[in-house]
Structure 1
Amino acid sequence: MMATKTLLNPTKMFGEIPGVDVGHQFYSRAEMVVVGVHSHWLNGIDYVGKGHGKKEEYKGYTMPLAVSIVISGIYEDDLDNLEEVVYTGQGGNNLLGDKRQVSDQVMLRGNLALKNNMLQSVPVRVTRGHACSSSYTGKVYTYDGLYKVSQYWAEKGVSGFTVFKYRLKRIVGQPALTTSQVHFYRAHAPESLSQLRGLVCEDISGGQENIQIPASNLVDNPPIAPMGYVYRKSIQVAKGVTLPTTATGCNCKGACIDPRICACAQLNGSDFPYVSKDGGRLIEAKAVVFECGPKCGCGPSCVNRTSQHGLKYRLEVFRTPNKGWAVRSWDFIPSGAPICEYTGTLMRTNDLDNISGNEFIFEIDCLQTMKGLDGREKRPGVLPLPTSSHLEINDDKKTESFAEYCIDAGTTGGVARFINHSCEPNLFVQCVLSSHHDIKLARIMLFAADNIPPLQELTYDYGYVLDSVMHPDGKIKVMPCYCGAKECRKRLY
């Protein structure tokens, strides 16, 4: 692409790169070169050299000047506290993987560039690299915004050689760092509970999930664990609610392979909604996904049972300063991967004692989503069903405007109850039918809407319409939104 002059931003520029927001992830240094975030696939400092000083776009600057740095734990003297970085200059490193200095650094090239950034108050882009087994390069790089160089000095490093140090402070007013409350050891997510700062509970599921879900709290003093609920990994059915009869399944054996003969694939528009990559990933958000169920001939390894396999990623519940509890993953999550099911007590919406005072109510509005009602984005999936009995939908006006059933996770529920709202979420809600085909009682699953790097908070759009929530006295209830998204609506409802 360099040879054919097809790079997106071939000219080195100071400040933000159009279209690259805080939290944007890349899976190789080459991808960063193509976009123009960082034009070197090896050097940690990307700078404009003295030879470019006469160009019009750099008029008024003294060169060299740095435009970007990558923090990947290459140097043994690096210190990263996220909002503030002590960055080691370039040179004198043996590049053999043990991070040791073998000679003195000199005040030239990138080192001189960072010094000039401080003298001329020019910000520098900062990108952090993390190990990632799911990436084709073994790493994922996350753009963390603009930093200013506030100080520099020379000192003897750990190995006895002179190194240059640069103190960089993150410029205020930018979107919050997705890693702002996690202690890093050379930029890695915790590898065990012993590395997690603020641990208040080793497993909030109490062993119910196949992977522990720890909770951490660096906000409260003294720190407290999540309380006021009972963890349940599966749906509890309230009195008076009867689940439909188990649906007739497919006749496939072992696994569903041929969509032409699989009855469940026929319900999904004559195709399978998942691909088998990474243990099963949803191809696209759909009006409803029909999975294989109890009466199907296929086994538990069938890809069309993807959402039924439980947790696949190491999740952590953590305390935030203004949003209560939140959830993040220690692992890289690929787009389309299932995260978790929203569980709680399945009940009739009319039976709720006080919906306005319960922030953990999830209305099963799959029918309304299918029809694109009340501002919902209509999804693909007008399904070519053999007969109307395969999808039990009541088309009366009351059902269209009102979700008959809901899931109450206020006093009992799973990890999904801690996932916060965002106006620009990285998860999406998907209705799934497996044991029966009544859309009003569909399972609610959360899937990854994009590739999600480790330690980024998991969020989905709660879908409230502004001015739609009322106090018991009839007045409109207002809740501010603290999601921090660039296009935040400022109100949850």
Structure 2
Amino acid sequence: MMNTGAILYTEKIIGAFPGIDVGHQFFSRAEMVVVGFHNHWLNGIDYIGKTASAGRKTSMNLTGYNLPLAISIVLSGQYEDDVDNCEDVVYTGQGGNDLLGNKRQISDQVLKRGNLGLKNCMEQSVPIRVVRGHKCENSYVKKVYTYDGLYTVVKYWAEKGVSGFTVYKFRLKRVEGQPSMTTKEVCFTRGRIPKSISEIRGMVCEDITRGLESIPIPVTNLVDDPPIMPPGFIYIKDMKISKNISVPEIAPSGCKCKGTCTDHTSCACAKLNGGDFPYVHREGGRLVAAKGVVFECGPNCGCGPKCVNRTSQSGPRFRLEIFRTPKKGWGVRSWDYIPSGSPICEYIGLLRKTDDLDPAADNSYVFDIDCLQTMKGMDGRERRLRDVSLPSYLQKVGEDATESVPFCIDAGKTGNFARFINHSCQPNLFVQCMLNEHHDISLARIMLIAADNIPPLKELTYDYGYALDSVMDAEGNVKQMACYCGAEECRKRLY
């Protein structure tokens, strides 16, 4: 990918990196290289060299700078002389390590390349991105890398290291005014998942699902005094259907695969998805890319329940917690790392006709099934069906789509934990329409998928998709609701 220029940012960037916030996690060094965040899959220091041969070029104006300049470092415990106190780091320069995993120095380090780049950053007050790597069983390389923000080099020196060889040391201090680090939370969660109910602070319910889900979901409340449970709500695992709605009973013919679908050239369901499977066989199945609609295997398919093309039908697979927030009501967070593309949950509730909703009722838990609008690219949404070969009857339905949304999911009184997931103007989940039991796009399943690698204890959010001034009260007056998502690009209003 580097040789063909298929990197997201092909030119090196000093300081803050577009789209990568503090707490962002990469599940391999290769992911950092592909993005252009840290351009070496092995070296701990990435730097801008004096010539193009020392690394990729940068479009930044470097006139007056003394090169090389370090732009990022990775702390992963490779050197025996490192000292990491989170906000204050003593970093051992590069070189002289045997790279065999025992962290031992076998020769002297020299002040050149990345080491010289760190020295020059100190002298010219250039900030450096710091990434920490730690073990993670959920990562396909068994490590995860967390971006912890910008640091400045405040001091450097040479000394004899533990093994008797000269090493260069660099003291770095974290730049003030940045978001709080998440590495401490990550390490805490990795090291001490609660062993008993008594360890969960503010718990008001051990399992809101009452055993309906395979993994219990506790509820915590450290905001209200006395703490309360979510009121007026009954947890269900499967969708309820209003009596005046007829869900298609005849399922699609399905594929003829046996056991699990592996050959995309012969699988009928793969052909519906543009000739390939929508998921990769990793971490229980991960969606490759968002689509207008994903066709999963259904009841008439020859494959079994472990087929990767049934990924969204397996139920929640991460340890989750519903918690009370100060301004946004209830929210949901995970105790586990969530890799990008992982299905989180289906939005469950009462399937209703939109026309049957009471306009006077104050119900914030209604989800419109608007897959047709998504397919048509309405409201400025990106058309995402160019890679999907729809059956002829679905193509006609898509062409006839109007702005009306005939069906919705009402989770006001009954539903699953999806109803507690809050809005964000910069969310870490996205909405994906799914079909498996039937092919009626107006009654598609609504899934929430991880849009990014999500660290533990990070609140799960998706964009509710309201247009400003689009919500009216019973008298036809515009209703407004403030947004407290806290995102850097927050629109300040939910609607």
Q: 2:334 aligns with which of 328, 334, 356?
A: 328
Alignment match, 1:52 = none
Cα distance, 1:114 vs. partner?
A: 9.3
For this pair of structures, how many residues does the alignment match?
A: 467
Cα distance, 1:346 vs. partner?
A: 1.1
The amino acid of 1:476's aligned partner reads V
Alignment match, 1:146 = 150
Deviation digits for residues 15-50 of structure 1, max 9, x if unmatched? 32466544444344576578775678788788999x
Q: Which moved more, 1:35-44 or 1:277-286?
A: 35-44
Alignment match, 2:298 = 293
The amino acid of 1:311's aligned partner reads P
Equivalent residues of 2:28, 2:143 under 8 A apart: yes
Q: 1:360 to 1:150 in 2, by over 3 A?
A: farther
* Structure-2 separation of matches of 1:272 and 1:48: 40
Cα distance, 1:442 vs. partner?
A: 1.4
Matches within 5 A, 1:335-354: 335=341, 337-354=342-359
The amino acid of 1:331's aligned partner reads Y
The amino acid of 2:304's aligned partner reads G
Q: 1:169 to 1:477 in 2, by over 3 A?
A: farther
Cα distance, 1:139 vs. partner?
A: 1.6
* Structure-2 separation of matches of 1:5 and 1:484: 35
Alignment match, 2:56 = none
Alignment match, 1:489 = 491
Cα distance, 1:261 vs. partner?
A: 5.6
Q: 2:136 aligns with which of 132, 141, 148?
A: 132
The amino acid of 2:346's aligned partner reads E
The amino acid of 1:306's aligned partner reads T
Q: 1:139 to 1:124 in 2, by over 3 A?
A: same
The yes-or-no answer on 1:377 pairing with 2:382 is yes
Equivalent residues of 1:17, 1:36 under 8 A apart: no
* Structure-1 separation of matches of 2:139 and 2:256: 34
Alignment match, 1:53 = none
The amino acid of 2:133's aligned partner reads G
Equivalent residues of 2:248, 2:438 under 8 A apart: yes
Cα distance, 1:469 vs. partner?
A: 1.0
Q: 1:331 to 1:215 in 2, by over 3 A?
A: farther
* Structure-2 separation of matches of 1:486 and 1:405: 34
Matches within 5 A, 1:103-118: none
Deviation digits for residues 309-360 of structure 1, max 9, x if unmatched? 112333333444443313335124143x322101111112222234772221
Matches within 5 A, 1:276-287: 276-278=280-282, 279-287=284-292
Alignment match, 1:193 = 194
Q: Which moved more, 1:414-423 or 1:364-373?
A: 414-423
Q: 1:291 to 1:391 in 2, by over 3 A?
A: farther
Matches within 5 A, 1:263-282: 263-266=268-271, 268=272, 271-278=275-282, 279-282=284-287
Cα distance, 1:486 vs. partner?
A: 4.2
* Structure-1 separation of matches of 2:346 and 2:254: 24
The yes-or-no answer on 1:16 pairing with 2:16 is yes
Equivalent residues of 1:190, 1:330 under 8 A apart: no
RMSD: 5.1
Equivalent residues of 1:131, 1:140 under 8 A apart: yes
The yes-or-no answer on 1:220 pairing with 2:226 is no
Equivalent residues of 1:409, 1:417 under 8 A apart: yes
Q: Per the alignment, in what secondary structure is the counterpart of residue 183 of structure 1?
A: helix
Cα distance, 1:363 vs. partner?
A: 0.5
The yes-or-no answer on 1:245 pairing with 2:246 is no
Q: 1:150 to 1:207 in 2, by over 3 A?
A: farther
Q: Which moved more, 1:460-469 or 1:64-73?
A: 64-73
Q: 2:208 aligns with which of 198, 204, 211?
A: 204
Cα distance, 1:428 vs. partner?
A: 2.1
Structure 1 gap segments, 5+ residues each: 50-55, 103-107, 153-163
Deviation digits for residues 358-388 of structure 1, max 9, x if unmatched? 22110011122222223333221664425x3
Q: 1:421 to 1:64 in 2, by over 3 A?
A: same
Structure 2 gap segments, 5+ residues each: 50-60, 106-110, 157-168
Alignment match, 1:157 = none
Equivalent residues of 2:254, 2:300 under 8 A apart: yes
Cα distance, 1:214 vs. partner?
A: 3.6
* Structure-1 separation of matches of 2:478 and 2:486: 24
* Structure-2 separation of matches of 1:294 and 1:5: 44
Q: 2:319 aligns with which of 289, 314, 318?
A: 314
Q: 1:41 to 1:233 in 2, by over 3 A?
A: same
Alignment match, 2:369 = 364
Q: Per the alignment, in what secondary structure is the counterpart of residue 299 of structure 1?
A: coil
Q: 1:472 to 1:5 in 2, by over 3 A?
A: closer
Q: 1:329 to 1:444 in 2, by over 3 A?
A: farther
Equivalent residues of 2:351, 2:410 under 8 A apart: yes
* Structure-1 separation of matches of 2:467 and 2:193: 41
Alignment match, 1:409 = 411
* Structure-2 separation of matches of 1:203 and 1:151: 51
* Structure-2 separation of matches of 1:262 and 1:295: 13
